[in-house]
Structure 1
Amino acid sequence: MKAFYNGTILKGDGTEVHDSALLIDRGKIVDIVGEDTIPEDSTKIDVRGGYITPGLIDVHTHLGVSEQGIGKEGADFNETSHPATPEIRALDGCNPREEGFLHALASGVTTVQVLPGSANVIGGEMFTMKTAGEILDEMVIQSPSGMKAALGENPKGVYGGKGKRPITRMGVAAVFREQLYGAIDYIEKRKQGNADVHLGYEQLAKVLRKEIPFRIHAHRADDIITALRLQKEFGFKLTLEHGTEGHYIPDFLKEQGVSISVGPTMSPKSKVETKNKGWQTVMEFELRNMNYAITTDHPVIAINYLVQSASEAVKAGLKQSAAFRAITSNAARHLGLEDQVGELHSGMDADVVIWTGHPFLYTTTLVSTWIHGERVHSFEQ
């Protein structure tokens, strides 16, 4: 058993614990106890007045499928051969040796979701994983964790530029509906034994059976509402990805009960649909007690700036505890992993980060990162 002591514990739910020790054993968190009750047989790890936090979570990345510094050879995140490719899986294009994973560990990010890109109306399956390891299949937590879809400028630009549908937002929604109706028809024919296997429809069937959610890229308020209209039509589970103009319709979104991944807010306003980007989005969501996560959309913003993204939200007016939840417990809830990661309490994965000070302080240094109770990064290395 290991005991981290002599520091402030940020549990991930917004609370701080003092004069206590975090106990971990066999890859799991055992308990938080008073420092005077640390079991005698524990291996004691003195954090020297620093901070002990859960591993950070980035819910929307392209780690390993959009490799840094390589260009076309490392671009395995958009299968632009057709505007709807539900048959593909990000898992099959992910390189766990991409240097972005090292940057994740060095900045305390221990859990990520890896998605296909947003060139296609339906882009394929995504998965969640831990950021340390050599064998991708041993790093995976959920596969699949959702089905990617995208509304707005991206699919319009990619396929409109080729002179084929979708050219308009109307065309984007039509392609989406065609795919879902095709899958519904396929499911019925398969039940009757009248259809050959269709991989894309098989994977969409998981969405229609509510085994996995659609995670829909939508920046503008009208695209967000289109995503919710489609959800109402077909009854699938849904998270919104980006939600840039969500601050224009926060009460409507609150009524829908949808979780939203917000970001990459630190990036430039690179296109029309992100011109109204700002930290007001997460502040409006926080006022309404909505579930939201802050993301880098790596490599749009490098994953090592996840904690800085959250701290920028604090500078803009978001409470510090709320910003930290957005990259820990809220993020875990967005992924459906709230019983496994994102907080420090009994039974959770022993994913722990040690810092010299509060993670949001500019002068704070990460000391070490631990996954399943094993140290996977150390500043001294």
Structure 2
Amino acid sequence: MLSSLVQPRGLSFLLAALLLWGGLSPTPAQSQRAVRADTLYTMTGAPIQDGVVLIENETIAAVGPASEVDVPASAEVHEASVVTPGLIDPRGTVGLSGIYNVSADQDQLDTSEPMQPALRALDAYNPQEQLVSFVQQLGFTTVHTGHAPGALISGQTATFSTAGATVEASLRDSVTAVAFTLGPDAQARFESPGTRAKGVSMLRQALHDAQAAMDGDDAGGSDLGQKALQDVLRGEVPALITAHRAHDIQTALRLQDEFGFEMILDGAAEAYLVVDEIEEAGVPVILHPTMARPSGTTQNAAFTTAATLHEAGIPVAIQTGWEPYVPKTRIALYEAAIAMAHGLPRTAALASITREAAEILDLENVGTLAPGQRADLALFDGDPFEYTTHVCTVLSGGEVVSDECK
């Protein structure tokens, strides 16, 4: 009798040893969650009433009406009035600019030279910055951030998850774009350029030099700035060109046509004056915040621009931008709501900070709720575009990263 009790225990020790030594591979336990919503915006089709998102580990396993999704009894269930994909800020400086507006937390623009394409947002992003957690609590799980407008070439941008304690853990795309600025906003901080013509001449010369080096013996780009511009010229990285005035937008389109690079038009306060040109060029727009202060180059900004671009079939996302006051960012959800109030259809307004933003930035696994996508979700206690609504839970990669109603 004693031997019969001892033998299974001996076998269990043997099995454990085999597992440790690699003789057998244990199957990792799956973490399962289910999110149930009165209204579920998947951004892949019509909203689903009484919808469910089933999550396994970091990934969405199933999406559909509650009657069609089998939720395991062991799954942790979250409920909300409205659920959307995790929100995306398509252009800002969060993580480089901080919440207190002091020199110690302002790293978004170097003014020692007007053209610095070698500067990397990756090297300045602070995942521990309080402003990152602030926007996360409001439903934003992804931020496209980096060097601010204000220099002919201010540097490279990058895309991060708002979750993750280190840069490596939060990084999604190390070089999303190279940031350019046209017009007076690129002149104010530097002795040169002093005019639009001089600024564009300097840009054109830099691009020609990078092209010549690429065609010659320096195709790999030993100069880091030239290498960044060569990546743009090859079409590997888009040029993110901030231009607000109509004639500056037209100049950006001419440069794009001349050099053949991929371009994202940024800001574009007067885009409604050159809709046909933008549409013909096939260029997407990351529009200025709808409520941006109308002064300087944005003095002719209009609340209806997002709707105008959408009606023309131009891909449009709405950004938080960069402001010279605390905390140097806006909340893109509110900006999209104001755009909706001025003619942008509801689905398009939500897409401008989810699916459309992801497509413009070439982010493949966020922005929609579908099987195989990263499990980034925002859970609301009401209409996301209603000012009194709160974000009560935020999931990033299937993990709850915020659970207080904000």
Q: Please confirm whether the aligned pair reaches a TM-score higher than 0.5, indicating the same fold.
A: yes
Task: Name the counterpart of 1:378.
Answer: 403
Aligned residue for 1:91, secondary structure, equals helix
Q: Does 1:174 align with 2:201?
A: yes
Task: Name the counterpart of 2:18.
Answer: none
- Alpha-carbon distance, 1:269 to partner: 1.6
Task: Name the counterpart of 2:27.
Answer: none
User: 1:288 pairs with 312, 316, 320, which one?
Assistant: 312
Task: Name the counterpart of 1:369.
Answer: 394
Task: Name the counterpart of 1:122.
Answer: 153
Evaluate the alpha carbon distance shift between residue 304 and residue 201 of structure 1 in structure 2; reply closer, same or farther with a 3 A threshold: closer
Evaluate the alpha carbon distance shift between residue 299 and residue 15 of structure 1 in structure 2; reply closer, same or farther with a 3 A threshold: farther
Alignment of 1:171-320 (within 5 A): 171-191=198-218, 197-271=222-296, 273-299=297-323, 303=329, 305-320=331-346
- Using the size of structure 2 for normalisation, the TM-score is 0.87
CA distance in structure 2 between the partners assigned to 1:192 and 1:303 by the alignment: 38
CA distance in structure 1 between the partners assigned to 2:385 and 2:166 by the alignment: 32
CA distance in structure 2 between the partners assigned to 1:323 and 1:4 by the alignment: 23
- Alpha-carbon distance, 1:46 to partner: 4.0
Task: Name the counterpart of 1:40.
Answer: 72
Evaluate the alpha carbon distance shift between residue 14 and residue 277 of structure 1 in structure 2; reply closer, same or farther with a 3 A threshold: farther
Aligned residue for 1:345, secondary structure, equals coil
Aligned residue for 2:131, secondary structure, equals helix
- Alpha-carbon distance, 1:209 to partner: 1.3
- Alpha-carbon distance, 1:299 to partner: 5.0
User: What are the Cα deviations for residues 107-140 of structure 1, in whole angstroms up to 9, with x where unaligned?
Assistant: 1011111121222111111100101111012211
Larger deviation, residues 167-176 vs 357-366: 357-366
- Structure number with greater Rg is 2
Given residue 341 of structure 2, which amino acid in structure 1 is its aligned partner?
K
CA distance in structure 2 between the partners assigned to 1:327 and 1:252 by the alignment: 24
CA distance in structure 2 between the partners assigned to 1:191 and 1:308 by the alignment: 47
Task: Name the counterpart of 2:192.
Answer: 165
Whether the aligned pair in 1 keeps the contact of 2:377 and 2:394 (CA below 8 Å) is: yes
Given residue 301 of structure 2, which amino acid in structure 1 is its aligned partner?
K
User: What are the Cα deviations for residues 268-297 of structure 1, in whole angstroms up to 9, with x where unaligned?
Assistant: 1231x1111122211111111210001111
User: 2:384 pairs with 350, 359, 371, which one?
Assistant: 359
- Alpha-carbon distance, 1:223 to partner: 0.6
Q: Does 1:3 align with 2:34?
A: yes
CA distance in structure 2 between the partners assigned to 1:70 and 1:205 by the alignment: 34
Given residue 311 of structure 1, which amino acid in structure 2 is its aligned partner?
A
- Alpha-carbon distance, 1:302 to partner: 5.9
Whether the aligned pair in 2 keeps the contact of 1:79 and 1:123 (CA below 8 Å) is: yes
Larger deviation, residues 215-224 vs 95-104: 95-104
Evaluate the alpha carbon distance shift between residue 231 and residue 39 of structure 1 in structure 2; reply closer, same or farther with a 3 A threshold: same
Whether the aligned pair in 2 keeps the contact of 1:147 and 1:214 (CA below 8 Å) is: yes
Aligned residue for 1:18, secondary structure, equals strand
Unmatched segments (≥5 aa) in structure 1: none
Aligned residue for 1:12, secondary structure, equals coil
Given residue 153 of structure 1, which amino acid in structure 2 is its aligned partner?
P
CA distance in structure 2 between the partners assigned to 1:6 and 1:262 by the alignment: 30
Aligned residue for 1:296, secondary structure, equals coil
Given residue 115 of structure 2, which amino acid in structure 1 is its aligned partner?
A
Whether the aligned pair in 2 keeps the contact of 1:66 and 1:299 (CA below 8 Å) is: no
- Alpha-carbon distance, 1:189 to partner: 3.2
CA distance in structure 2 between the partners assigned to 1:147 and 1:217 by the alignment: 11
Q: How many residues in Structure 1 have an aligned counterpart in Structure 2?
A: 372
| Aligned-residue CA RMSD (Å) | 1.9
Larger deviation, residues 214-223 vs 291-300: 291-300
- Alpha-carbon distance, 1:256 to partner: 1.1
Given residue 364 of structure 1, which amino acid in structure 2 is its aligned partner?
T
- Alpha-carbon distance, 1:34 to partner: 3.3
CA distance in structure 1 between the partners assigned to 2:74 and 2:323 by the alignment: 40
Given residue 216 of structure 1, which amino acid in structure 2 is its aligned partner?
I
Task: Name the counterpart of 1:91.
Answer: 122
Given residue 40 of structure 1, which amino acid in structure 2 is its aligned partner?
P
Whether the aligned pair in 1 keeps the contact of 2:213 and 2:219 (CA below 8 Å) is: no
Aligned residue for 1:331, secondary structure, equals helix
- Alpha-carbon distance, 1:147 to partner: 0.6
CA distance in structure 1 between the partners assigned to 2:62 and 2:387 by the alignment: 30
Larger deviation, residues 100-109 vs 35-44: 35-44
- Alpha-carbon distance, 1:251 to partner: 1.7
CA distance in structure 2 between the partners assigned to 1:64 and 1:4 by the alignment: 29
Q: Does 1:82 align with 2:113?
A: yes
Evaluate the alpha carbon distance shift between residue 6 and residue 217 of structure 1 in structure 2; reply closer, same or farther with a 3 A threshold: closer
Whether the aligned pair in 2 keeps the contact of 1:90 and 1:126 (CA below 8 Å) is: yes
CA distance in structure 1 between the partners assigned to 2:71 and 2:222 by the alignment: 57
State the identity as a percent. Answer: 31
Given residue 287 of structure 1, which amino acid in structure 2 is its aligned partner?
E
Task: Name the counterpart of 2:14.
Answer: none
CA distance in structure 2 between the partners assigned to 1:70 and 1:134 by the alignment: 22
Evaluate the alpha carbon distance shift between residue 46 and residue 197 of structure 1 in structure 2; reply closer, same or farther with a 3 A threshold: closer
Aligned residue for 2:216, secondary structure, equals helix
User: What are the Cα deviations for residues 174-204 of structure 1, in whole angstroms up to 9, with x where unaligned?
Assistant: 11011111111222333589xx821111111
